[in-house]
Amino acid sequence: MLEELIRDLNQETQDLVAVLETLGSSDWQRPTPSLPWSIEDQLVHLAFFDEIAEVAIRDTSEFSRLLSQFIDQPGSLDELIETKRAGRRFSSEMEWFLAARSQLTATCRAADPKVRYGWFGPPMSLASMLTARLMETWAHGIDIRDSLSLAPNDSARLAHICFLGYRTRDFSFINRGMDPPRSEVFVELTNGKGSISYGNPMATDRISGSSLDFALVVTQRRSLLDTGLVVEGEDARKWMSIAQAFAGPPGPGRQPRLED
């Protein structure tokens, strides 16, 4: 399982790098939908949090210290990112990102898969940590692709992201101070190689559509209205309006696109 996740994470990384390698020097400052971030900012975010994830796995005491600092001094996280960015020992953001990603996967291979590791949300297993990094890579890659008017990356790896999106249903509500609904939701998704489903097939609240559309909604890269997802039931609709597969405070989501 871990090797499969590492393989898929590495492949998602390669797909993102293939896009980044086409950029000219001025393209790195292109704005992305995650304003005010540029393409360069997106990559810095990935590199920095790969480093933090590696610390969370390798040195739980140091991560606890950092987490307490970030909670007590909310601005310190942004300050640390900018400090690392300014003083990085690498010649480019790309080199930083690839080095951080390599170190993270090496640390994951050496770590205990039975342990749950601290993070900015609930503690996670190694498998969940790798899935989260794959999700982040894909989601920030979507922002970069949108900035360049490229189509979203659609692959079988989306199954990992969709599963994470399904598993974070309760978190999406709790993170907003809301009680999670007790009702079940059945999710049935299709991709080019078949279908995947989660939950009780007898549930009256249901979501169906493509894996790509579901992944775009749970990572808050598209408004539900910009997808072909079919959502049945009040609780399923409420979930899709606030779905959040990533840790941290409630995200703002995306407004519907003004396109025909």
What is the tens place of the pLDDT at every residue in 167-209?
999 999 999 999 999 999 999 999 877 899 999 999 999 999 9
Do 90 and 170 have their domain in common? Answer: no
Phi and psi torsions of 114, nearest 5°: -85, -15
Q: What CATH number is given to the structural domain containing 173?
A: 3.30.1050
Number of folded domains that form the chain: 2
Axis-axis angle for helices 126-147, 158-167 (nearest 10): 110
Do 199 and 236 have their domain in common? Answer: yes
Range of the structural domain that residue 229 is part of: 158-242
Instruction: Give the pTM.
Output: 0.94
Structure tokens at 228: 């072909």
pLDDT at 243 over 80: yes
Rounded Cα distance between 71 and 52, Å, is 15
What is the tens place of the pLDDT at every residue in 66-114?
999 888 887 777 888 888 777 776 668 999 999 999 999 999 999 999 9
Whether 254 is covered by a domain: the verdict is no
Do 119 and 190 have their domain in common? Answer: no
Which amino acid is residue 23, in one-letter code?
L
Do 98 and 23 have their domain in common? Answer: yes
Number of neighbouring beta carbons within 10 Å of residue 246: 18
Rounded Cα distance between 30 and 52, Å, is 26
Whether 231 is covered by a domain: the verdict is yes
- In the chain, where do the E strands start and end? 116-117, 124-125, 185-191, 194-198, 205-210, 230-232
